Structure 1
Amino acid sequence: MSQQEFWNSKFSRDGYLYGIKPNSFIASKVKLLKRGAKVLCLGEGEGRNAIFLAKKGFEVTAIDASDIGLKKLEQRAKEEDLSIKTICLDLNDWEAKEKYDGIVASYLHMYEEDRAKLFENINESLEPEGIFIGEFFSVNQLNFSSGGPKDEKLLYKVEDFKNHYAFCDADVKEQITILDEGKGHQGEASVIRVLLSNN
């Protein structure tokens, strides 16, 4: 099954699988982005982070493999009179062609062997002093029933980030949090929070 087929099957249901509120960690760090910043949302799904960022006055682009998810995003943006650029693309096919002041992601499903390319693309797509803000499910999420993949190869370790960003200003922490994100993410969860500054 392709990424598009997988996510379309999830997003084809009524409503918003992960709700319409932004990821709380991303929302808490938005103040680090400069006014009017150009921001890229990776694996953005139905658009909860993109809508939030556009409302804050940022220039937002959203990438996702699901055309159904992006159509929901576009409909909400239209209703709220927001301008958001959408790109329907599997992140494994993403190439770093543009520069952004900020890149955000919440709960990307990426296999271990595909992450080096993803991390490189994030690096190459950040402007000098650009910021990456991300929240990911850790391998310890297998102990919780609040959401996320049940395949350990799609879950993350702190070392995944620290090894790749050893020479960057990267703040990487694993912690337990309480998720309240639509039907898809509810309850106690083990997450890895990443804040990367491209200095």
Structure 2
Amino acid sequence: MSQFWDERYRRDDYLFGTEPNAFLARQAEWLKPYGQAGGRTLAIADGEGRNGIWLAEQGLDVHSVDSSVVALEKARKLAEARDVMLELEQVDLVTWLWPEATYDVIVGIFIQFLPPDQRSQMFSQIRKSLRPGGLLLLEGYSPRQVELGTGGPSAVENLYTEDLLHEAFNGFEFLKLESYEANIAEGTAHKGPSALIDLVARKPAA
């Protein structure tokens, strides 16, 4: 898997651009209290760093993880250019020992490369790694994306539905769960009409 992503990221430009994901940027108000406190934040499969860097610019203490050493090096250069600090780490999300109750915020943007059994494991680890009262932000593609063909996995079982996310994060406070279609422009890899699903949820405080 890391070799596949190394090859995709081995290019002069940034595959998904250098600006934050649009959904993530729209959540600035939800993130503000955590940013003011320098909240510990995990950016899952953060690639070349565009989202982790934006989160750091909001005052968050960001741990940016990815499987690709090529992407991580590009993230380091972009963070340096933007004058922010990221803790960068190469990890395999399937075998990584996720820390328990460590993060105030966890962000996963288009992290749909795992098959359903491994995705369920990852979602369980996300639940474990969030601190009580912590915030989860997820954006992914819904099944109609396969018809649109403008990015994301071709395997429909890798995509999100509202029922799937309700079940995975049962017991969380759902602040937003929305499926919709929109035009996106995120580098050359995510571009055009897209079937999206957004989740903002908070882990119970107790």
Pairwise TM-score range, normalised by the shorter structure: over 0.9
Indicate if the aligned counterparts of 1:146 and 1:179 stay in contact, CA closer than 8 A.
Answer: no
Deviation of 1:79 (Å) = 2.2
Partner of 1:104: 107
Indicate if the aligned counterparts of 2:171 and 2:203 stay in contact, CA closer than 8 A.
Answer: no
User: Alpha carbon RMSD of aligned pairs, Å?
Assistant: 1.3
1:116 aligns to what SS in structure 2? helix
Q: Does 1:159 align with 2:157?
A: no
Rounded to whole Å, the distance in 1 between the matches of 2:135 and 2:42 is 11
Q: Does 1:148 align with 2:146?
A: no
Partner of 1:75: 77
2:105 aligns to what SS in structure 1? strand
Specify the code of the residue in structure 2 equivalent to 1:154. Answer: N
Rounded to whole Å, the distance in 1 between the matches of 2:83 and 2:8 is 26
Partner of 1:178: 183
1:190 aligns to what SS in structure 2? strand
Consecutive unaligned residues of structure 2, counting only runs of 5 or more, are none
Rounded to whole Å, the distance in 2 between the matches of 1:116 and 1:146 is 25
Aligned sequence identity (%):
29
TM-score, length basis structure 1: 0.94
1:7 to 2, 5, 8: 5
Rounded to whole Å, the distance in 2 between the matches of 1:44 and 1:62 is 6
Partner of 1:131: 135
Rounded to whole Å, the distance in 2 between the matches of 1:164 and 1:150 is 22
Deviation of 1:101 (Å) = 0.8
Rounded to whole Å, the distance in 1 between the matches of 2:21 and 2:78 is 17
Rounded to whole Å, the distance in 2 between the matches of 1:80 and 1:21 is 11
1:83 aligns to what SS in structure 2? coil
Partner of 2:68: 66
2:98 aligns to what SS in structure 1? coil
Q: Does 1:31 align with 2:35?
A: no
Indicate if the aligned counterparts of 1:145 and 1:187 stay in contact, CA closer than 8 A.
Answer: no
Deviation of 1:39 (Å) = 1.0
Aligned length: 197
Deviation of 1:193 (Å) = 0.6
1:183 aligns to what SS in structure 2? coil
Partner of 1:19: 17
Deviation of 1:122 (Å) = 0.8
Rounded to whole Å, the distance in 1 between the matches of 2:162 and 2:8 is 28
1:174 aligns to what SS in structure 2? strand
Indicate if the aligned counterparts of 1:43 and 1:63 stay in contact, CA closer than 8 A.
Answer: yes
Specify the code of the residue in structure 2 equivalent to 1:194. Answer: L
1:91 aligns to what SS in structure 2? coil
Deviation of 1:163 (Å) = 1.4
Specify the code of the residue in structure 2 equivalent to 1:197. Answer: R
